[in-house]
Amino acid sequence: MTFSGGCQCGAIRYDIDSNPIVAYCCHCTDCQRQSSSAFGMSLWFPASAFTLTSGTLLSWRTMAESGNEKLCTLCRDCGTRIYHAFPDQSDTLSVKGGSLDKIREITPIAHIWTRSAQPWVLHLIGDADCHDTEPDTFDHLVARFRREAE
């Protein structure tokens, strides 16, 4: 499957020639701040499947709430986040869900950093896996996402 997306102003466009590996919502304070909302939606894709088709990404490094270094990419014109990457997962990009053209086709299967979640959001979670912080491994989330996508 191919996914397309871009930034709010239209300067950045990209294609991803792969199905997502996993999709989840993150409620950490960094994701709340960068999304200017109650949480951020992340979808992992193989880095090799991502093609920037127009524009130039700005990037910067920061420390995630988990303590891991995070590379953040965004549109240099409007500031829309496009993806995050982690040095220890160089083969995977965490694409920001709001930048995809057709995000409605994907249902997140987990919520992480729920200890930072806005209280009014918690009743909306349903039967998704919930984690107070970041899980030690995402293997069980990847497996569940794969099963539910079939």
Mean pLDDT for 8-23 is 96
pLDDT of residue 65: 67
Q: How far is CA 56 from CA 78, 82, 93, 122, 132, in A?
A: 12, 11, 17, 37, 35
Could you tell me the CA-to-CA distances from 104 to 9, 99, 101, 147 in Å, in that order? 20, 12, 9, 18
| Model pLDDT, residue 18 | 94
- pLDDT band, very low/low/confident/very high, at 48 (cuts 50, 70, 90): very high
Q: State how far Cα 61 lies from the chain centre.
A: 16
Query: For 7-30, what is the mean pLDDT?
Result: 93
Dump pLDDT digits (tens) for 51-101: 999 999 999 988 876 777 888 999 999 999 999 998 777 789 999 999 999
Domain boundary assignment for the chain = 2-149
For domain 2-149, give the fold: 2.170.150
